[in-house]
Structure 1
């Protein structure tokens, strides 16, 4: 995350970090949240804050590990709880499918790291990050363009490879 922040600051981009772990975000629905689900409401103050942040953002950067060939539960819970259906929220359901309302999000950059090599995730594990998260979920909420960068084989990588990857992050065009 530090290299992404460095990149954004070096290019004079304003940003706000949402750290689900630091915030103590609970990805699970409780009974009250389930009751409010179909109305698009929430009693979770973090969900309200995150919705406000998403509606004000112009770009999105997601940094996440890949666990069991997919996103971790906390990020899936973020999507489940924050991506609310309703005319003033993230999307509406139409007769032909979901219409995204976060059209303010011009782009998203997804950074992941995995124990598996990237080619393995793409060719043998269904490419869930690209096919489900990027091409479906992010697109459905209104994100126009997305780039994905995975650092595969992270647990067996050499320090020089990790440093090379971080140096690459320093120079990427994160807002596109």
Structure 2
């Protein structure tokens, strides 16, 4: 079966995102996949890109041991799942910092820069799942807010990195949702066949 990396980005263990994470991990285990979890907040990841990190960027280096650990995990996975809220029509700064710091330029790392643009090196990621929650209804995010998560994070950033099979599932209107609706959302996660 698959070797999944799961990137979780939420600071509160009683959030609905945490409930989604639980269902994702349970479904992956039930379907026979192996998983490695990155819990950005719980592990104390520092998303700030400082001067020393920038100096090391073009050599693929880092002075943050979590950055190296996370890149190794992503490079050894064949599929990846992101679980994150949508804050202000985009992914949180913590997840943006993960992309900024972990996705290193260089042959055999996450990407190389060519004369025609960025060439993604993460072709090992055959299946990419992004589970998000939002206060806004999903239709509003797609039609009125510019569809930023899909257009920028999923179809630009993750695509540029070489991640394939990108699928986005948003659970909208979560703040005012009923327990019944939340159960339906969680059941939807449990029924996904992870490839």
Give the TM-score taking structure 2 as reference length: 0.88
Greater fraction of residues in strand: 2
1:97 is displaced (CA, Å) by 1.1
Write the deviation string for residues 3-42 of structure 1: whole angstroms up to 9, x where unpaired.
0011011101101110000110000022211221232211
1:4 and 1:48 map into 2 onto residues whose CA distance is 25
1:106 and 1:63 map into 2 onto residues whose CA distance is 18
Instruction: Check conservation: 2:81, 2:128, Cα contact below 8 A.
Output: yes
Instruction: Check conservation: 2:31, 2:194, Cα contact below 8 A.
Output: no
Q: Flag structure 2 segments of 5+ consecutive residues without an equivalent.
A: 1-20
Matched, 1:103 2:123: yes
Matched, 1:138 2:171: no
Per the alignment, in what secondary structure is the counterpart of residue 116 of structure 1? coil
1:46 is displaced (CA, Å) by 0.3
2:75 and 2:52 map into 1 onto residues whose CA distance is 24
1:68 and 1:31 map into 2 onto residues whose CA distance is 27
Root-mean-square deviation (Å)? 0.8
Task: State the partner residue of 1:161.
Answer: 181
1:108 and 1:88 map into 2 onto residues whose CA distance is 19
1:59 is displaced (CA, Å) by 0.2
1:135 and 1:91 map into 2 onto residues whose CA distance is 16
Instruction: Check conservation: 2:131, 2:169, Cα contact below 8 A.
Output: yes
* 2:55 aligned to which of 31, 35, 51: 35
Task: State the partner residue of 2:66.
Answer: 46
2:194 and 2:166 map into 1 onto residues whose CA distance is 10
Task: State the partner residue of 2:26.
Answer: 6
Task: State the partner residue of 1:149.
Answer: 169
1:173 is displaced (CA, Å) by 1.4
Write the deviation string for residues 71-90 of structure 1: whole angstroms up to 9, x where unpaired.
00000000000111100210
Give the TM-score taking structure 1 as reference length: 0.97
Task: State the partner residue of 1:66.
Answer: 86
2:133 and 2:194 map into 1 onto residues whose CA distance is 17
Aligned length: 175
Per the alignment, in what secondary structure is the counterpart of residue 75 of structure 1? helix
Q: Flag structure 1 segments of 5+ consecutive residues without an equivalent.
A: none
Write the deviation string for residues 76-122 of structure 1: whole angstroms up to 9, x where unpaired.
00000011110021000111111100110001000000000001111
Greater fraction of residues in helix: 1
